[in-house]
Amino acid sequence: MTLQTDVAARRLDLAGARGFEVPGAGAARREAVAGLTREWLCGVWDEALEGRSSEGIALAAVGSLARGDAGPLSDVDLVLLHYGRSLGGDQLRQLADRVWYPVWDAGIKLDHSVRTVNQCRTVASGDLTAAVGLLDLDCVAGDPDVVAAARSTVAHDWRANARKRLPDLLEALRARHSRHGDLAQSLTPDLKEAHGGLRDLTVLDALVAAWLTDRPRDGLDEAHGVLLDVRDAVHVVTGRGRDRLTREDQDAVAALLGHADADELLTSVAGAGRTIAYALDGTVRRAGQSQRARTLRVGPRRPQLNPLGYGMFEHDGEVVLGPRSALSTDPLLPLRAAVVAARSHLPIPPTTLANLAGQAPSLPEPWPAIARDLFADLLATGPGLVAVWEGLDQAGIIDRWLPEWASVRSRPQRNAVHRHTVDRHLVETVVVAGGLVREVARADLLLLAALLHDIGKTPGAHDHSTVGAPIARAVATRLGYTAPDVAVVETLVREHLTLIDLATRRDHQDPATVVAARKAADGSREVFELLLALTEADASAAGPQAWTDWRASLLRQLAEATRAGWDADAVDPAGPAASTTVARSELEAVAAGEPRVVVRPQGGSYRIDVFDRDRLGLFADTAGLLAAQGLVVRTAILRTVDGVAANEWHVESPSGEEPHEERIVRGLARLAEGDRAPLGLLERRRRYAGRPSGESGTGSPGQARALVVPHASDEATVIEVRAQDRPGLLHELGMGFAKAGLSVRSAHIATYAGQTLDTFYLTEFGGRLLSPAKVAQTVAMVIDTCDGPAPTS
């Protein structure tokens, strides 16, 4: 054999040495890798034949090697083809072994089979995946006529049975996409199997091979090349034949491909995935149309056009222009087509979109009122907006309307709570906001702010709200809104995170919190309602981690506190007794030493009202007791009525077990008497969880931070704590506060990706604010508690 046996290493070296530094050289690099592989396989084949004739026998490739897009470490899929009469069974097995074993010895992953032409036909008829793969059958060595016969037979059957097999193919497609997700919306995309991945191009080509549709051209080959280049780089960086772009490899892959950073890489990958997904979805749709067109009909085959309004018609499940459309003279036509399509939940075909993008005149600036109203109508169409907006974006129409959109298109979001890229999240937020328009006076401003609220998430932006506000102002001005309306949109974008921040990190009953909430809305009740709806829409669209039951309840509480007394221009927060269900006689019993607990389910979470004699350490004891029972504290609001602590806790139960009132009552009573046994289970939970890694040492990722929040309250000192979470941490902090003689008036708890973001309202005995020296001691204690070893209770 003329080539060294470790051909896998040679393929990797060849790919690593060529092409990555030269833009557009990926195809040449893959051609070189494929040429090396084929040359080596030909040598293996010649040695395996041992001088015999190859008439009626061939070595064929399927998969990436057959298509010519194999990566440096891609698997090799080979088929030993024969007519069934060239060699006997033993001879075939011996020949196959002489081919397969050198491939394995060379370190190449191999998928292999031995088949006759008729067996290929049989396998393809019963296995969709095999049928799609065999369409690419290509001769590597041996008799090319055998390969041509198998390929033509499989292709003929594929075309003949396309109508019957299309539903099964589409069902398999949906199942795969469901398993692997959307490539464009993943931070660790599967470059092959996800929706918009490389396998989708194979399916698309199979539909074209069935003569059901033409292959889309606009940008598809470029997108294909992007994913192949990234796949090749993953192989080189990892030294393995992987198809998933993991977080730990993204920086190296980005550097190898010449991207500025991993985010730029992911933006490129997401853009390519969107192009492929859009092309596949359109091809599937047209394949279905082609199938329906083949159905025998009686009479002339005239197109069935159902009028939809604005000169648009529905034809075979798509929105098309009518025969008398003023395409070249009406700048409103793209808007009208988009509104009709989104309302009807129908796509606009690529040909129509291309005509709208290329022939419709541009809108004047500022937009006329009718254009602005049509744009608002489009944003109000609900779920149908998502697919229509994607088509408009693919055609370049969105760039004509909103040039600023390019800066957020396909941009990844590293925040764990987000499930979409920035641009997709904006559209999803508009859809959610559409369900809240009846709660506000100006639905159009809410929807526009929803579309623009993250428009400032551009590369290098430190505070996207601040960056996005002037961009939103420019967009609203261009759309023709009045100066007051433009100011409202700018405020909504600038302050869209303020209310959820106040709701989750501040005491709702503190007058300073109410003042801050009203200030965010420029003192306007109408703007506040818009901001409240935008806050809910933003969090809900982000994903289930951002819009939990407890976050929703906190936002409602903040809204109620902020609305109270607004018209009278007075803050009138509800007192602690207003939310209690305990009668005066029962309060007296609690004051005598009989705790009372009320548990209320709240749709996946629980509100626990705890009434007990007020004392130092009650917060710590309650937090420890809840943690010992496996409950996760989300919020705690503490009040005192006539010496009785009326504390409200919002918790989640990961185990699904409902909190037991009597169990909590007994535990509190024993803790008040100095019996620490109820916290024994907490100690076991601590030992089971262990200490997180990387939490000690100056500057390490786990080092805690304790910050004093100035001007957050006139009645308490507010300290914000950020640290690595662990079981019982809230109890430990409460113990530290109690030992320092501090009362916890209110606590707002949040945990994101294992990191706490807790806010405590603290006072000294008698309700005094902490002195500067006490603040310094408290901050040091908090940091030591978070970073030090867990104490015993």
Residue 743 lies in domain: 576-690+699-787
- Indicate the residue type of 571: V
Degrees, nearest 5: CA angle 6-45-7: 15
Work out the mean pLDDT of the chain and round it to a whole number: 87
135 and 202 assigned to the same domain = no
Is 227 in a helix, a strand, or coil? helix
Q: What is the pLDDT of residue 134?
A: 94
CATH number at residue 116: 3.30.460.10
Q: What is the pLDDT of residue 732?
A: 92
Residue 472 confidence class, pLDDT cut points 50, 70, 90: very high
Among the candidates 137, 160, 183, a domain finishes at 160
DSSP annotation of 700 reads: -
pLDDT of 199 > 90? The answer is yes
682 part of a folded domain: yes
521 part of a folded domain: no
Q: What is the pLDDT of residue 745?
A: 85
pLDDT of 164 > 80? The answer is yes
151 and 172 assigned to the same domain = no
| Average pLDDT estimate for 18-30 | 67
**Of 213, 207, 226, nearest to 349 (Cα)?**
213
pLDDT of 465 > 90? The answer is yes
Q: Comparing 292-296, 455-459, 607-611, 787-791, which segment has the lowest mean pLDDT?
A: 292-296
Among the candidates 126, 141, 160, a domain finishes at 160
Q: Comparing 368-372, 431-435, 532-536, 631-635, which segment has the lowest mean pLDDT?
A: 631-635
All residues at 6 or more sequence positions from 109 whose CB lies less than 8 Å from its CB, including other chains? 75, 76, 241
All residues at 6 or more sequence positions from 432 whose CB lies less than 8 Å from its CB, including other chains? 450, 536, 537, 540, 541
| Average pLDDT estimate for 492-517 | 92
- Indicate the residue type of 225: G
Degrees, nearest 5: CA angle 629-632-636: 110
Please give the residue that has the higher pLDDT: either 420 or 699.
Answer: 420
Q: What is the pLDDT of residue 758?
A: 87
CATH number at residue 177: 1.20.120.330
| Average pLDDT estimate for 583-597 | 76
Among the candidates 273, 293, 313, a domain finishes at 293
Are 665 and 596 within 8 A, CB to CB?
Answer: yes
| Listed ranges 232-241, 408-417, 505-514, 532-541; the one with the highest mean pLDDT | 532-541
Q: What is the pLDDT of residue 24?
A: 57
DSSP annotation of 574 reads: P
288 and 257 assigned to the same domain = yes
Name 748's bridge partners. Answer: 635, 759
129 and 243 assigned to the same domain = no
Please give the residue that has the higher pLDDT: either 580 or 602.
Answer: 602
pLDDT of 572 > 50? The answer is no
pLDDT of 489 > 90? The answer is yes
Q: What is the pLDDT of residue 571?
A: 42
pLDDT of 21 > 60? The answer is no
127 and 184 assigned to the same domain = no
| Three-state SS letters, 616-672 | CCHHHHHHHHHHHCCCEEEEEECCEECCEEEEEEEEECCCCCCCCHHHHHHHHHHHH
- pLDDT tens, residue by residue, 54-89: 899 999 999 999 999 998 889 999 999 999 876 777
Residue 754 confidence class, pLDDT cut points 50, 70, 90: low
All residues at 6 or more sequence positions from 757 whose CB lies less than 8 Å from its CB, including other chains? 504, 505, 720, 721, 722, 750, 751
Are 204 and 438 within 8 A, CB to CB?
Answer: no
pLDDT of 494 > 90? The answer is yes
Task: Compute φ and ψ for 368, nearest 5 degrees.
Answer: -70, 160
Whose structure tokens read 């080092």?
A: 703
Q: How many domains does the chain have?
A: 3
18 and 153 assigned to the same domain = yes
pLDDT of 600 > 50? The answer is yes
Sign of the C-alpha dihedral computed for residues 758, 761, 764 and 765 taken in this order: negative
pLDDT of 693 > 70? The answer is no
Structure tokens at 298: 């009686």
669 part of a folded domain: yes
**Of 348, 212, 344, 336, nearest to 284 (Cα)?**
212
Q: How far apart are CA 65 and CA 7, in angstroms?
A: 14
492 part of a folded domain: no
476 part of a folded domain: no
599 and 738 assigned to the same domain = yes
Q: From start to end of 127-213, where are the E strands?
A: 138-142
736 and 602 assigned to the same domain = yes
Q: What is the pLDDT of residue 634?
A: 78
| Average pLDDT estimate for 168-197 | 95
Q: 0.85 exceeded by the pTM?
A: no
Determine what percent of the chain is predicted with pLDDT higher than 90: 60
- pLDDT tens, residue by residue, 254-308: 999 999 999 999 999 999 999 999 999 999 998 888 776 655 455 555 667 888 8
Q: What is the pLDDT of residue 327?
A: 85
426 part of a folded domain: no
pLDDT of 145 > 80? The answer is yes
All residues at 6 or more sequence positions from 140 whose CB lies less than 8 Å from its CB, including other chains? 38, 41, 42, 45, 58, 59, 60, 61, 65, 78
153 and 168 assigned to the same domain = no
354 part of a folded domain: no
Please give the residue that has the higher pLDDT: either 749 or 246.
Answer: 246
- pLDDT tens, residue by residue, 640-683: 777 788 888 888 887 778 899 999 999 999 998 899 998 988 87
140 and 256 assigned to the same domain = no
C-alpha distance from residue 734 to each of 207, 388, 520 (Å): 65, 53, 32
Task: Compute φ and ψ for 635, nearest 5 degrees.
Answer: -150, 145
- pLDDT tens, residue by residue, 91-127: 899 999 999 999 998 888 999 999 999 999 999 999 9
596 and 729 assigned to the same domain = yes
Q: What is the pLDDT of residue 5?
A: 52
All residues at 6 or more sequence positions from 328 whose CB lies less than 8 Å from its CB, including other chains? 359, 360, 361
Are 64 and 11 within 8 A, CB to CB?
Answer: no
171 and 83 assigned to the same domain = no
Determine what percent of the chain is predicted with pLDDT higher than 70: 90
360 part of a folded domain: no
| Average pLDDT estimate for 45-56 | 90
Q: What is the pLDDT of residue 574?
A: 40
Element (H, E) at 288: helix 262-293
Burial class (CB in 10 A: 0-12, 13-18, 19+), 658: exposed
Q: How far apart are CA 390 and CA 409, in angstroms?
A: 11
pLDDT of 579 > 60? The answer is no
Q: Comparing 355-369, 549-563, 755-769, which segment has the lowest mean pLDDT?
A: 755-769
